[in-house]
Amino acid sequence: MWEVVQELHSRGHQAVVLTPEVNMHIKEDFVTLTTYTIPCTQDEFNNFFTSHARLIFETEHFLKKFSRSMEILKNASVVFHRSCVELLHNETLIRHLNATSFDVVLTDPIYLCGPVLAEYLSIPTVFFLRYIPCDLDFKGTQCPNPYSYVPKLLTTNSDHMTFLQRVKNMLYPLALSYICHAFSAPFASLASELFQRAVPVVDILSHASVWLFRGEFVMDYPRLIMPNMVFIGGINCANRKPLSQVCIGAFMQSMFQAKHFKNCIYL
């Protein structure tokens, strides 16, 4: 969401980035950086992300890979939950945030601590996300979600499904719901403890004022949306410098087996 923060800064808004002391790629540039301690070292934090990245490129049996993915997800849930506990129980920091009188909280709801904090401070929330598994974005906005119409994640179904594909479309979310529960349940318990009442995950997400989806219908299938759901696909496509002199003769020769494509082309 750095591009959004940059644009807000250019329009005269002040931004405070709230982050653990252990983090990745967060620098105090044009923003005010506010940090808090967590029971995790920088090496442990880095190893967690690198182990997840390595798993993506490994080829092994689906069940074994699924089991390892669940183990990584559980470990991530523990790390993020501990971080959230340290934040919400930091009375000095919470008092400071309350006294600052923020206008809005911008957060990715895949990490539920942001929505919980915003609700605790009674600050309007803007979600900035790609998607949330288990259709929690549909449930959080009370958006219609017909399984016979919208293809589900990992099904490889198109928007024109046969009867069997529609059945598959309804069964896949059952497995995903188990994964989501393993990750989100600790945050629901933390919110229930904080507000002294039962707080389901859907309730945590339902207080968002605006949902900014970093997808668009060019890459994703059409779906039903609510008035406070906005698609901002392409926001992460940074402006790149023009290409310098590039020789594509070898590539063209391999493609067409022609000897006369040997000149360099300026792009």
pTM listed for this prediction:
0.79
Question: Are 125 and 215 members of one domain?
Answer: yes
Which residue(s) pair with 128 in the sheet? Answer: 212
The verdict on 118 and 248 lying in the same domain is: no
CA-to-CA separations, 238 to 28, 167, 180, in angstroms, rounded: 20, 40, 31
Residues 181 and 255 in one domain: no
231 and 177: one domain?
A: yes
Position 247 scores a pLDDT of 56
Spatial CA neighbour of 46 closest among 69, 26, 21, 23? 23
C-alpha radius of gyration, the chain, whole number:
22
Separation CA 116–CA 137 (nearest Å): 16
* DSSP states along 182-250: HHHHHHHHHHHHHHTS---HHHHHTT-SEEEES--TTTS------TTEEE-TTTT-PPPPPP-EE--HH
Q: pLDDT of 35-75, one tens digit each?
A: 998 887 888 777 777 777 776 677 777 677 777 777 777 77
Segment among 11-20, 68-77, 213-222, 243-252 with least mean pLDDT = 243-252
Let me know whether 51 and 179 are in one domain.
yes
Query: What residues make up the domain containing 104?
Result: 2-242
Structural domain tally of the chain?
Answer: 2
Q: Quick one: tokens of 96?
A: 């400071």
126 shares its domain with 256: no
11 and 91 belong to one structural domain: yes
Q: Which stretch of 5-14, 74-83, 96-105 has the lowest confidence by average pLDDT?
A: 74-83
| Same domain, residue pair 227 and 256 | no
Can you give the pLDDT at residue 236? 67
Residues 43 and 132 reside in one and the same domain: yes
- Specify whether the CB–CB gap between 156 and 172 falls below 8 A: no
- Shared domain for 189 and 256, answered yes or no, is no
Given this model, what pLDDT does residue 264 score? 38
Same domain as 205, residue 94: yes
Question: 263 falls in which pLDDT band (50, 70, 90)?
Answer: very low
Looking up residue 179, the CATH number of its domain turns out to be: 3.40.50
**175 and 228 fall within a common domain:** yes
Averaged pLDDT for residues 141-167: 85
How far is Cα of residue 85 from the mean position of the Cα atoms in its chain?
20
Confidence of residue 132 (pLDDT cuts 50, 70, 90): confident
